[in-house]
Structure 1
Amino acid sequence: MTREIVGAAVPRSRGIVGHLVLGLLGLAAIVPVYWLYATSLRAPEDVHSLSPFPWPLSGASYAEAWGAVDMPRLLLNTTVMAVMIALGQLLTGLLAGYAFAAWRFRFQNVLYLLFVATWLVPFQVTMVPNYVLLNQLGTLNSVAGVVIPNLCSALAVIMLRAHVRSVPFELLEAARMDGRNAWSTLWTVVVPNLAPALAALGVLLFVNAWNEYFWPALVLQRTNAVLQLGLRSFMGTEGNDWGPMMATAGMACLPVLLLYLVLQRRIVDGFVRSGLK
C-alpha cells in the first residue's frame, strides 16, 4: 500500500515541477512584451525609468507615433503583405505536399529532398539574384516586390506533406472510386481534414511575414511602406525616441495577438493532431 502511494506521488510531483518550469518560461516570454507596453504608456519624461509599473499612464507616445508616421497606411500595407505571403505559401505548400504525399512518380524522393534542401540555403545566397530579378521586373520599392520571392516556403511543403500523409489512404481511394479527380479530392476530402493544421501553419507563416525586416528594408529602400520600416523614423544619430518607437511596436503586435486569440483553438488542435496518425 505504501509503495502504491509513493508511486502515485512521484508522477504528481513531476507534474508540479513541470508546470512550475513552464510557468517560469511563460513569464520570461511575457516580460519583454509587458516592458514594451509599459514603456509606451509612460510619460515622455519617464521613458527611461526602470520602474516596473508605468505611472501616471500617458498616451503621449502613441499620439506622437500616430502623428510622425502614416499608421493606417503602414498597417494596411503590412497586412496586405503578410496575408499575401501567408496565402501564397499555404497554397503552394498544400499543392506540393499533396503531390508528394498522395501520388507516386519517378524521382519523387529525390525531388522532395532537393526541395527540402532549399530550406538549408541561406537567404544571403538568393538575395542578390532575387533583387536583380525584381529590378528587371520593375517591382522594386513596392509591396509586390516583397511578396513575389516569398510565395513559396519549404517549411510549408514539409509540414503539409506530413499532414497529408496522416489522412487515411482509404478516404482518398474512396474519393477516386466515387469518380472524383485529384483536384476535387484535394479540396473536398484532404483540405477539410487539414483545417486545424492549415490554421496553425497559416498563423505561423503570417507572423513570420509580419515580422520580416531585412528583405523589405532591401526592396523598399526609398519608402517606409511597412510597419517594421516605420520604426526607423524614430531612430537617429543622436539617439532613439524610445516612447514613440515602443508605441509603434506595440501597435504592430496587436494584429498578431488578435489573430492568435481568434484562431487559438484551431492552432492548438493543429499541433495536437500533428502527432496522430
Structure 2
Amino acid sequence: MDPADEEVGARYSLRQRLYLHLEPTAWPRTGLSPANLVIAVLIVFAALLAILETEETLRADAPRFFQYAEFLILLLFSTEYMARLYAAGEDPRYRGVLGRLRYMRTWWAIVDLLAILPSLVTMGGQNTFLLRLLKLLRLLRLSRLGRFSRAWSAIAQAVQLRSFELLLSFGAAGMLLILSSACLYLVEGGEQPEAFGSIPRALWWSVATLTTVGYGDVTPVTALGRILAGITALAGIGLIALPTGVLASAFSDALRRQAAHDRSGQREE
C-alpha cells in the first residue's frame, strides 16, 4: 500500500482527520483532498447560482429553487466554517480560545465568514438595491478557491516583491491622467463645458483615452485639443503596457519558482 494511503487511512482523532482533509497543506497526496474537492465544486456552484438568480425570468419560473438552494449552501458553508474552526486547533498557533480567535482573524477565515454573512442577511428579504448589493457579495465565494492553489500564494508573493515598480507605473499613469485632463479642460472647456468644463469632467475622457478604450462619447473638437488627444493616446499605450509587463514578469518568476520547488520536492521523495 502507498505510504500516503496508510497515512490518510490511519486512525486519527476527529480533529486530526478534519485538519488533514480541510487544510490543503496537510494533505499528504498531490492535489486536493476529497473534502476540499467537493468544497471547490460547491463554491463554483454557489457563484453560478448567485449569477443566475439575477435573471428575473429564472426567479419567476423557479421561485423556491433559489431559496432552497441558497439555504442548503448556507448550511453547508456554515458547517464547513465550524469544522475548520475546530480543526484549526491542530496548528499550535491556533490552540485554545485565544488561538481560535487568532485563527478567525486570518485572511482565509475572514473570507470564509464573508461567504456566509450575505446569505444570512438577505434570507427572505425584498429585492431592494441594498439587498441586491449584498447578494452580489456572494460572488466573493469564488475567492475561496485561492486557498486550494499554491500558485496563487506564489503569485501574490511575486506581486508584493514588485510592488515598488507597480506603484511607480501607477503613479506615472495617475499623473498623466491629471495632466491630460487639465490640458483638455484648458483647451476644450469653453467649447464643450458639459464634457470638459472642469478637470473632473475631463477626467472621464482621459481614462477612456489612456486605457485605449475610446468610447467616443466625448471627443475634442478644436485642432489643439485633437493634437493633445493624440499625444495622450500614444502616451497611454506605453503607460498601460508598463504595469502589464511588470505583472507578466512577476507571474512568470512566481510560476518558475513554484515549478522548481515542486521538482525539488519530488527529488527528495
TM-score category (smaller protein)? under 0.3
Superposition TM-score, scaled by structure 1 size: 0.24
Where relative contact order (Cα < 8 A, 6+ residues apart) is larger, the structure is 1
> Which is higher, the Rg of structure 1 or of structure 2?
2
